A and B are shown apart, each in its own frame.
Chain A
């Protein structure tokens, strides 16, 4: 093969391989939304859905589901945050309310965002919240305390083998981000 032909052959292969490199770099970034898609399809992430609307269905009084509530605050979050009810026994299809207490222990105003998580992961799909403080950011002035309600119902068709759910809220300090958005 002539040197020119060799160089042309090499160049075309190099370009194709560089295409693979670029493709895999983009794939790395594509993994970010793909991760969410995978979790949504399989429902195994423990992420709850957004605001639900109450479907009036038959309340299944024969089944009792135990639901526990736990809370966590992130480092840098100077709030007290706890559920006012730790454990509830509910029936699928029945509307329930639980209240959470939050107090800003610091002197300045702080904005908090709660992120829910459900265990076991599969149960997340069956927990429907119609009203939740986690849908919005909460602003508390220095020293202010509030009670926040959360209204939910559990789907009537929750699988038989789930009898206990734990709903966890992690509270994050988003004051900086909220201020930036407000200023824009």
Chain B
């Protein structure tokens, strides 16, 4: 029987501002190239929670402020608790940029009240003030967790004002080689909790870092079929060349 997974794409109409759609394309194509059926399940404001619960992998991306507010309210009240339950059970997930901030405890803007997050990840984000520099630019890092990916070099483009700090229950995804990462000061980028990954990397993240995509797909299949699954290899020469181009740009 053909293996299959269902990929929940949270708020595709509200939270896919920075080419994050590429992450979903990569997850789906890399499944299909291997003969694994992969269905994209858009999960937005009106979508029933049972539809979300039927998924094997979760993706949520960045957003503009206005859209972020709409999605944020819905996520906090409705989808967030379900996502938390799924992530706690080991369902793999990828949260990028705004979504990465959403899954933490709170986001504190430079003016106004703290905005509560879904509390899925043990992290907090604060905006240090109007005059503080946004962290913008090409970035490179070396994965430290999950163990299966440790040592893998990842690249991306970061563009965020908020500074994220990880709590004790959370492991960082990667050590920054060049760029800023979570907050520009402690040297870490992203976070890992069970089979869920959070990251500030656009680019988008998965096309140039296919190892993360494959890890998510593998974990999704293993959770679904309760057995070890080895993925067949895919020709990733172009991803390697695209990575090298960034490294040349960064002078590494």
A joins B in a complex? no
